[in-house]
């Protein structure tokens, strides 16, 4: 950043994260969104049920207190978090301004593995 302060100017940054709510990368870029002059920040997560390990899932306040919260989707769908520069945005663009939604669930087609390019 010290060498080229405009390296992220008008760029979209995408992070595929385990958990964007706790990701240091997501937090760092959200906190520095205006400083870096980013156009958009996108951070995605996997669905908790997609992991083979049997790990207990605990809702967090960020999710459970949102109007988008859907208990039937929270384990089966990944999430997408976005922060976008544009009209109608709050004056302070940071981690608290992140918007989120569930990713669209799509079952893998059984024919995908047999397809040839």
pLDDT exceeds cutoff 90 at 22: no
Mean pLDDT of 75-85: 85
Which residue has better confidence, 37 or 88?
Answer: 37
Domain ranges of the chain: 12-102
Q: Residue 38 in contact with residue 14, Cβ under 8 Å?
A: no
Out of 32-41, 44-53, 58-67, the most confident range is 32-41
Q: Which long-range contacts (CB under 8 A, 24 or more apart) does 65-68 make?
A: 66/100, 68/100, 68/101, 68/102
């Amino acid at each position: 950043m010290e060498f080229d302060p405009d390296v992220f100017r008008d760029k979209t940054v995408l992070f595929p994260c385990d958990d964007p709510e706790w990701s240091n990368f997501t937090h760092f870029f959200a906190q520095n969104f205006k400083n870096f002059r980013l156009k958009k920040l996108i951070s995605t997560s996997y669905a908790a049920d997609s992991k083979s390990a049997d790990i207990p899932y605990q809702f967090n306040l960020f999710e459970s207190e949102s109007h988008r919260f859907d208990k039937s989707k929270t384990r089966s769908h990944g999430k997408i978090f976005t922060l976008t520069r544009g009209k109608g945005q709050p004056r302070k663009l940071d981690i608290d301004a992140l918007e989120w939604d569930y990713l669209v669930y799509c079952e893998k087609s059984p024919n995908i593995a047999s397809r040839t390019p």
